[in-house]
Amino acid sequence: MNPSRVSQAAVQTRWWRAGRYVVQDGAIRPKGATTWYEPWATYQDLWAKAERWSIASELVELVRKLEGTHSDENLERGALTPEGEALVLGWCERFGLLGLLPHRALTIIEPPLVVASQSRARENVVGVRVGWRVGGTWLNDVVRYPEYRSRVGRNLPRRGTLVVNAGTLPKPHVVWQDLFEGFAKAVDLHAALRPFFPGLDQADRDKGQYPLPFEQRFVRFYSEPVAAFCTAARQLARLVDESRDVEERKTNRRALVAGVNPDEVTEEAGVHRWRWASPSLLGTLATMVILDNVASCPMGVCAWDKCGRVFARRQPRQKFCCDTHRNTASVSRFRHAEREPTKPSRTSRRKKAKR
């Protein structure tokens, strides 16, 4: 393997978002120019400022809103109300898509093609485009099959032609990982990839020449089915749901961070900072949840009924996201207690005694 590819691969810590997203035929599709950003830079800046917020908590909040207004069945089918759709598109316009394809696929093997023609030798070279998920990113290459060249060479007209009777060459397929448990199985190339590229040329789709992560073409065309987005987002939200079984959450967490790899960045003046390379935004968000849990206390949901914000706790029993909401909630509890004098709360008793 070419070493420069590996070093390039190690810097896949960025993520992209399109200027706009639309829902079309059940998929969230990008429109407009692409911008890249560094989720870890945002994360670390917020920690430095002691803001108890992260991109992950924004996704958990989105899920809470969707679950509050949709049935399980509709979320599984990706059947959102116009309001729900607007919430999802708004999130994507800020952070991009979750990256479920590069997250779940382990290997992509495309159909064999003529990759070079050598007219003088009257031979063609046959190769297969292959992508592998490696620590924190994807490596793509064209694997050439020189032994195949001599056998089929003359029958193949020119570059880009599909090799039909591929005989002993690897069959096109995707090794696809389960999002919940992490086990992997081989699935049909088209069945796995087609839903993620509704905007791709029909000819490319028919030939099985899908963009590999994170080629330019991939970034341009990559879309995500609404149903898949909702399922994965809910999966992430379960990591911070304290009512769920601890063992189950542990298994889910492992499946979500399976492709994530540590990396470091050296800034000016020789300052080293850590960051994590991830094949998907979903993996990055799951890693943020783990770090938040380890660095402080598990994430909580603000107990003031008008807020419901998801936040990183400073203390294990912290119930409110900020002092303002703690105070507001206690004032409204007090007023509520005054209206129902039969059940005075401890606060109202104390306040009455002061008067």
Q: Which residues bind Zn ion (CB under 5 A)?
A: 302, 304, 307, 309, 321, 325
Biggest CA–CA distance in the chain, Å, is: 103
Q: Based on CB atoms, which residue is closest to Zn ion, 153 or 298?
A: 298
What is the DSSP annotation of 107-144?
A: EEEPPPEEEEEETTTTEEEEEEEEEEEETTEEEEEEEE
Least distance (Å) between residue 327 CB and Zn ion: 11
Least distance (Å) between residue 233 CB and Zn ion: 21
Q: Based on CB atoms, which residue is closest to Zn ion, 61 or 224?
A: 61
Least distance (Å) between residue 311 CB and Zn ion: 7
User: Is 305 strand, coil or helix?
Assistant: coil
Angstrom distance (rounded) from CA 55 to CA 194: 28
Residue 33: exposure state from Cβ atoms within 10 A (0-12, 13-18, ≥19): exposed
Least distance (Å) between residue 63 CB and Zn ion: 17
Q: Based on CB atoms, which residue is closest to Zn ion, 16 or 304?
A: 304
Tokens of 252: 């889910």
**Where do the DSSP E strands lie in the chain?**
15-24, 27-37, 105-109, 113-118, 123-134, 137-144, 173-177, 184-188, 224-225, 261-266, 272-277, 299-301, 310-312
Q: Based on CB atoms, which residue is closest to Zn ion, 114 or 310?
A: 310
Q: Based on CB atoms, which residue is closest to Zn ion, 151 or 336?
A: 336
- Residue pair 54/312 in contact (Cβ under 8 Å)? The answer is yes
Q: Based on CB atoms, which residue is closest to Zn ion, 175 or 307?
A: 307
Q: Based on CB atoms, which residue is closest to Zn ion, 218 or 304?
A: 304
Burial 315-329 (b: 16+ CB within 10 A, else e): eeebebbeeebbeeb
How distant is the alpha carbon of residue 146 from its chain centre?
38
Least distance (Å) between residue 309 CB and Zn ion: 5
Least distance (Å) between residue 65 CB and Zn ion: 15
Q: Based on CB atoms, which residue is closest to Zn ion, 109 or 302?
A: 302
Least distance (Å) between residue 324 CB and Zn ion: 8
332 contacts: CB under 8 Å, gap ≥ 6: none
Residue 110: exposure state from Cβ atoms within 10 A (0-12, 13-18, ≥19): buried
Tally of residues, the chain: 355
Least distance (Å) between residue 301 CB and Zn ion: 9
